[in-house]
A and B are shown apart, each in its own frame.
Chain A
Amino acid sequence: MLLEKMAEETISSIGFAQNPVLVGSNPPLVKKKRNLPGNPDPEAEVIALSPKTLMATNRFLCEICGKGFQRDQNLQLHRRGHNLPWKLKQRSSKEVRKRVYVCPEKACVHHHPSRALGDLTGIKKHFCRKHGEKKWKCEKCSKRYAVQSDWKAHSKTCGTREYKCDCGTIFSRRDSFITHRAFCDALAEETARVNAASTMNLAVGNNINMSSYHHHLMGTPLGPRMAQHFSSIFNPISSPTSNETIDQTSQGLSLWMGGQGNNNNLQEIHQLGSSVSSGAMFCTDINPPQADYQLNWVFGSNNKLPAAATSCDNGSEALASTSLPLSDIKISIGTHHQLVSVPSLYSSQQESSHRHHQALSSSANMSATALLQKAAQIGATSTDPSFLGSFGLKSNGNIQVQEGNQYCGLYSTSNTIASSLGSDYEDRNQIQMYPPAKRRHLQSDHQDSSNNGGGRGQTRDFLGVGVQAISCHPSSINGWI
Chain B
Amino acid sequence: MAGMVQEEGSSSVTSSPLQFFSWMSLSPGLGSPYPWHRELKSEERGLCLIQLLVACANHVAAGSIENANIGLEHISHLASPDGDTMQRIAAYFTEALADRMLKGWPGLHKALNSTKISSVTEEILVQKLFFELCPFLKLAYVITNQAIVEAMEGEKMIHIIDLNSSEPAQWINLLQTLSARPEGPPHLRITGIHEQREVLEQMALRLTDEAEKLDIPFQFNPIVSKLENLDLERLRVKTGEALAVNSVLQLHTLLASDDEMLRKNSPSGSKAQNSNHLQRVLQMNNHRTLGEWLERDPVHVLSPSPESTSTISPLSLSASPKMGSFLNALWSLSPKLMVVTEQESNHNGPTLMERVIEALNFYAAMFDCLESTVLSRALIDRQKVEKMLFGEEIKNIIACEGIERKERHEKLEKWILRLELAGFGRVPLSYNGMLQATRLLQSYGYDGYKIKEENGCLVICWQERPLFSVSAWRFRR
Contacts and interface: CB of A to CB of B under 8 A. Distances in A.
Interface of A: 159-164, 226-227, 229-231, 233-234, 237-238, 251-252, 254-255, 261, 263, 265, 288-289, 291-292, 295-296, 298, 303-307, 338-339, 341-347, 351-356, 358-359, 362-369, 371-372, 374-375, 378, 385-391, 393, 395-397, 399, 401, 406-410, 413-414, 416-417, 435-437, 439-440, 443-444, 446, 448, 463, 466-467, 470-471, 474, 477, 479-481
Contact of B210 (A341, A354, A444, A448): A341
Given A375-B51, A391-B54, A470-B40, 14 more contacts: A159-B204, A229-B198, A230-B199, A233-B128, A234-B168, A234-B202, A237-B128, A289-B378, A352-B444, A355-B446, A362-B372, A368-B46, A371-B43, A397-B58
Contact of A409 (B73, B89, B142, B444): B73
A366 B42 contact: yes
Contact of A354 (B47, B222, B375, B465): B375
B44 A467 contact: yes
B380 A480 contact: no
Given A347-B444, A371-B43, A407-B34, A385 B310 contact: yes
User: Contact residue range for chain B?
Assistant: 35 or more
Contact of A389 (B43, B121, B309): B309
Interface in B201-233: 201-202, 204-206, 208-210, 213, 219-222
A363 B70 contact: no
A401 B74 contact: no
B240 interface: no
A364 B9 CA distance: 12
B378 A292 contact: yes
Contacts, number: 284
B157 interface: no
B124 A230 contact: yes
B447 A345 contact: no
Nearest to B83: A365
Instruction: From B3, B141, B198, B442, name the one whose CB has the most chain A CB atoms within 10 angstroms.
Output: B3
| 7 closest residue pairs by CB, A with B | A436-B3, A352-B445, A307-B377, A368-B364, A355-B445, A371-B46, A359-B447
A388 B48 contact: no
Nearest to A387: B354
A59 B205 CA distance: 47
Given A395-B353, A470-B36, A409 B70 contact: yes
B344 to A, nearest CB: 14
Interface string B128-149: 1101100000100110000000
Contacts of A251: 375
Contacts of A229: 121, 198
16 contacts: A234-B128, A254-B169, A255-B172, A289-B377, A295-B129, A298-B125, A305-B377, A367-B364, A369-B361, A375-B47, A388-B357, A397-B62, A399-B55, A410-B74, A446-B41, A480-B3
Contacts of B357: 387-388, 390-391
Interface string B440-454: 101111111000000
Contacts of A233: 121, 124-125, 128
Given A233-B125, A298-B125, A397-B64, A159 B54 contact: no
A227 B196 CA distance: 11
A406 B33 contact: yes
B67 interface: yes
B78 to A, nearest CB: 10
Contacts of A345: 138, 141-142, 169, 173, 440
Contacts of B442: 352
A355 B379 CA distance: 14
Instruction: From B61, B206, B219, B373, name the one whose CB has the most chain A CB atoms within 10 angstroms.
Output: B206
A368 B89 contact: yes
A358 B376 contact: yes
B440 A227 contact: no
A122 B78 CA distance: 80
A163 B20 CA distance: 68
B368 interface: yes
B71 interface: yes
B280 interface: no
Interface string B380-402: 11000000000000000000000
A480 B14 CA distance: 10
Interface in B161-215: 168-169, 172-173, 176, 198-199, 201-202, 204-206, 208-210, 213
A294 B230 CA distance: 35
B71 A413 contact: yes
Nearest to A347: B444
B82 interface: no
Nearest to B379: A306
A162 B367 contact: no
B274 to A, nearest CB: 19
Contacts of A371: 43, 46-47, 50, 86, 364
Nearest to B21: A481
A157 to B, nearest CB: 10
Given A388-B357, A416-B55, A346 B439 contact: yes
Contacts of A305: 377
A372 B368 CA distance: 12
A230 B202 contact: yes
Contacts of B199: 230
A87 to B, nearest CB: 38
Contact of A342 (B50, B169, B365): B169
A393 B54 contact: yes
Contacts of B85: 365, 367-368
A437 B33 contact: no
A130 to B, nearest CB: 32
B272 interface: no
Contacts of B121: 229-230, 233, 298
A363 to B, nearest CB: 7
B308 interface: yes
Interface in B89-128: 89, 121, 124-125, 128
Contacts of B48: 410, 467, 470-471
